[in-house]
Amino acid sequence: AATACRDVASVNGDLAALEVDPGLCTLEYAPVTARAWGLWQDRPVSYTETFGNRCEMLRETGSLFAF
């Protein structure tokens, strides 16, 4: 949780701006949709993105959805 908070703080709550690890992923197609909503410093935040697979999601969002 602490790492996810640091990641979100680094982009001032703009979850679409997260790009934590540009490493490689396999090209398998197993789509996942990541959703988050809540408040960041009293400002509403909503995020929905569909990725080609879980690896791609983790590469672009870091620890935010790593559970």
Predicted local distance difference test score (pLDDT) of residue 48: 97
Single-letter amino acid, residue 10: S
Predicted local distance difference test score (pLDDT) of residue 63: 87
The arithmetic mean of pLDDT across residues 51-55, rounded, is: 95
Delimit the domains of the chain by residue range.
2-65
- The rounded distance, in Å, linking the Cα atoms of 39 and 56 is 25
For the whole model, what pTM was predicted? 0.81
Contact (Cβ atoms closer than 8 angstroms) between residue 55 and residue 26: yes
Average pLDDT, rounded, for the chain: 91
Q: Which residue has the higher pLDDT, 47 or 18?
A: 47
User: Domain 2-65 has what CATH class?
Assistant: alpha beta
